[in-house]
Amino acid sequence: TNKIADSSSIEERLSQLRGWSYSPILIDEVLSVVAGLNDEVILTISDINDDNSKHFFTRGLIQDKTSYQVTQTIDLFGRQWELNLIATNKFIESLPLDAYNQTYQEILTATLLLMLTVFIIQMMRSRRAQFAKHKIEIAQAREA
């Protein structure tokens, strides 16, 4: 049903239309900003003033969407708009991220180097203690 046509008073009709009078300006601004977006992200804009959300604008292929998304609600010219930016798999794969096992390998390497360093320090202390003990034994043997 058309909520504007069903409204009984002029005030109700005007309150429903408020914000839509600016839509040509907004659409032009949105399209100029959207032109700079990467083709591998999806942008959706919805009008969420009424009980039912009106899908207003989409850029990108919805079937490529993933669960990685950011949603923000803004109040503009008396209307509430929901902006939703969704990353596609192609976008995620194009990010310069480390391989999933690279961090594991780096941590493992650092741990092994730390273990080797601790082992060498302990070995040096043990040898020094043995050498000192050996000197004491030699000194005691010479005295006897």
- Where are the chain's structural domains? 3-94, 98-144
pTM of the model: 0.50
CB of 19 closer than 8 Å to CB of 79 = yes
Helix, strand, or coil (residue 108):
helix
Q: What is the pLDDT along the chain (144 residues), one digit of tens a residue?
A: 455 455 567 777 666 665 555 555 556 666 666 666 777 888 888 888 777 777 777 777 777 778 888 888 887 767 788 888 888 888 888 888 877 788 899 999 999 999 999 999 999 999 999 999 999 999 999 887
Block residue for tokens 């058309």: 2
